[in-house]
Amino acid sequence: MPLHTLIPRALLPVLLLGLPVAAQAPERPASQGAATPSDTEVPGVANFARLSPAVWRGAQPTAEGFRNLEKWGVRTVISFRHDHDDFQELKGTGLKYLRIPSLAFDPSLENIARFLKVVEDEANWPVFIHCAKGKDRTGYNAAAYRIVIQGWTPARALEEMHAFRFNRIWVLNPGFVRRLTAEELRARVDREPPPLFQIWVP
């Protein structure tokens, strides 16, 4: 009997247990160069861009935005919002969902490692990441991805972060990004357990 018949419209917690992770870092997804934000490329998703085949970013999608992202091939959604979940907007999709509540003014290495743990598994690609506006919490997580996974310098990652309308009121965030080291974050990612996703079954 099909799953959707057994559990209609159920939000299921699913622990994805994969094969043992190799000791070396995963192959870097090809970089497409510095991204530029678009408010019109995906209807329902502002401040949108593809960073690589693995990671797409944007502001809070509408329900239409989530449907469009799924049509375009997105498999996984990560929200960094602490004051909102996407359950209503995700209705009718089959997207995997993980919420990592974060603060715009207080980046967390632990939370960034949780995000990168998801990204290192190609089965989750493309991963769409968002916060409310897609610029601050999404911005420093995207910068960490560029530095740790794609080998960018912090200076280059910061240039891109500012291009996505980063709010300069968060004066400590650029220093946080400058101090990020791939080695430290890689070690944190390796210690992270497999993510616990929620999946909306139409």
Indicate the pTM of the whole model. Answer: 0.85
Q: CA 100 to CA 139: how far, in whole Å?
A: 14
Segment 121-167, tens digit of pLDDT: 999 999 999 999 999 999 999 999 999 999 999 999 999 999 999 99
Q: How many CA atoms lie within 13 A of 54 on its CB side?
A: 20
Average pLDDT of span 4-33: 43
Q: Is the pLDDT of residue 101 over 90?
A: yes
User: For residues 34 and 163, is the Cβ–Cβ distance under 8 A?
Assistant: yes
